[in-house]
Amino acid sequence: MGGEQSLALPPGKGPHSVGCVDVMVGHTRQGLFLRLFYPCEPRVGAERPRWIPRYEYSRGLAQFRGRSPRWGAPLLHVAFGSCRVPVSWKGPFKPRSGGYPLVIFSHGLGAFRTLYSSVCTELASWGFVVAALEHRDGSASATYFCTAESGQEEWIQHQRLPPGQKEFYFRNMQVHQRANECVRALRLFQAVRGGRPVPNVLHPDFDLSVLKDGVDLGKVAVMGHSFGGVTAVLALVKEPSFRCAVALDAWMFPLENTLYPEVPRPVLFINAEKFQTPESIAKMKRLSSRNSQTRIITVLGSVHHSQTDFAFLTGKLIRRIFNVGGTLDPHKGLDIVSRAALAFLQRHLDLKEDFDRWEHLLDGVGDSVVPAAPPCRSNL
């Protein structure tokens, strides 16, 4: 297979152990599906969840990358089916007076809830509850829900652009659904906070009521990568409780121009060196011109997938399939992205932490990071 293929996701560097559980609410496509990362009590010998949780996701990834599922899915399953995320599966939630700040995370096109485990784990290790959504708008490589009648799984496959349809209108419809799902995720936590029962369809043994006093709903942000980055920006328009957004190499194309004046909160754009177009950068600058707290920085030596778990893939064949290049060490890249995000979140969520020690990154000061947008070298 072109040399040994492997994945070694780093554990969080913060002071907290990290727990993880899947949460599915509702029995229709209009429900919610997310992976929850949270500070937990340390456990010796804790079970670690699989990075690719089901074979169907390997099939979906292969198809999204334009590979034959006949050989692509088995290849991915053999290479990564046994890879684990370094967190405690259903670990006991670690209570904290006042609760933890909340981040709603939106994945990119063709991804799903587990492919940003490295950055979600890192944030949780520093004292955040992170809800990594799996969108049901057809942008995930695969997802599913469980019906009420029989509990059977209904799979939703990735939906490509329909023939003859203009891409903007198709993606604009999707980005609005995605942003609405981010808002509904916040409503889930509000329901838990209000003491209303919220059954977890997948894992009823993990009682979500443990989060009742564990999340500070006055300190909520939204974050995402690529398609998820622009989803995070739109979510600021739809929900005033989101106090800021962090957009990782955002794909700005799907957002209509009339909404830019309505973005009320600051955004941190963390771009890769080789992805953006002049049109996308112009939209970011339009937002920064309207809000002095919005920041745009570029991580040198990084490519679009550097801000995903794919950065930690090894093996020439797999790296070629997923176009994982870049010259920046992935661990260093994760440090830059997470520390810049933490500094930004401290500033705009009014956190009493010491993340401001990394505030220089917000001004593009530091090794492998520069202020402003990258030069436009490639198309989307």
Of 16, 106, 118, 249, which is the active-site residue?
249
**Structural domain includes residue 88:** yes
Q: Indicate whether 7 belongs to any domain.
A: no
Report residue 235 as tokens. Answer: 């979510």
pLDDT for 378: 39
Assess if residue 66 is contained within a domain.
Answer: no
Residue in 107, 135, 225, 304 annotated catalytic: 304
Ramachandran assignment for 326, one of left (phi > 0), alpha (psi -120 to 50 degrees), beta (any other) = left
Annotated catalytic residue 226: yes
262 domain residue, yes or no: yes
Report, in this order, helix, strand and coil percent for the chain, each rounded to 5. 35, 25, 40
Query: Which class for 191: exposed (0-12), middle (13-18), buried (19 or more C-beta within 10 A)?
Result: middle
> Which of the residues 17, 139, 226, 302 is marked catalytic?
226
Report how many domains make up the chain.
Answer: 1
Distance CA(20)–CA(36), nearest Å, equals: 5
Note whether residue 213 is domain-resident. yes
Tell me, rounded to whole angstroms, the distance of Cα 308 from its chain centroid.
8
Interatomic CA distance for residues 111 and 318, integer angstroms: 16
In a domain, 136, yes or no: yes
- Give, for all 380 residues of the chain, the pLDDT tens digit: 344 445 689 999 999 999 999 999 999 999 999 999 999 999 989 999 999 999 999 999 988 887 777 778 888 888 888 889 999 999 999 999 999 999 999 999 999 999 999 999 999 999 999 999 999 999 999 999 999 877 799 999 999 999 999 999 999 999 999 999 999 999 999 999 999 999 999 999 999 999 999 999 999 999 999 999 999 999 999 999 999 999 999 999 999 999 999 999 999 999 998 889 889 999 999 999 999 999 999 999 998 988 999 888 765 656 566 666 678 899 999 999 999 999 999 999 999 999 999 999 999 988 888 887 666 543 33
Are 342 and 358 in contact, with CB atoms under 8 Å apart? yes
If phi > 0 it is left, if psi is from -120 to 50 it is alpha, else beta; for residue 93 that is beta
Task: Taking each helix axis as running N to C, give the angle between helix 69-80 and helix 55-64, from 0 to 180 degrees, rounded to the nearest 10.
Answer: 130
For residue 178, give the nearest of 265, 125, 76, 109 by alpha carbon.
Answer: 109
Q: Which are the contacts of 309, defined by CB distance < 8 A and separation ≥ 6?
A: 7, 9, 51, 114, 115, 116, 117, 118
Whether residue 282 lies inside any domain: the answer is yes
Give the pLDDT confidence score for residue 323 in this predicted structure.
60
Q: Are 56 and 74 in contact (CB under 8 A)?
A: no
Quote the pLDDT of residue 82.
83
Query: Residue 66 corresponds to which tokens in the numbers above?
Result: 């334009």
Known catalytic membership, residue 304? yes
**CATH number of the domain encompassing residue 150:** 3.40.50.1820
In contact, 76 and 133? CB cutoff 8 Å: no
Separation CA 180–CA 185 (nearest Å):
9
Residue 62, in any domain of the structure: no
The token duo for 222 is 């939204």
Distance from chain centroid for Cα 147: 26
CA–CA distance, 64 with 375 (Å, rounded to integer):
28
Domain that holds residue 255: 18-49+84-371
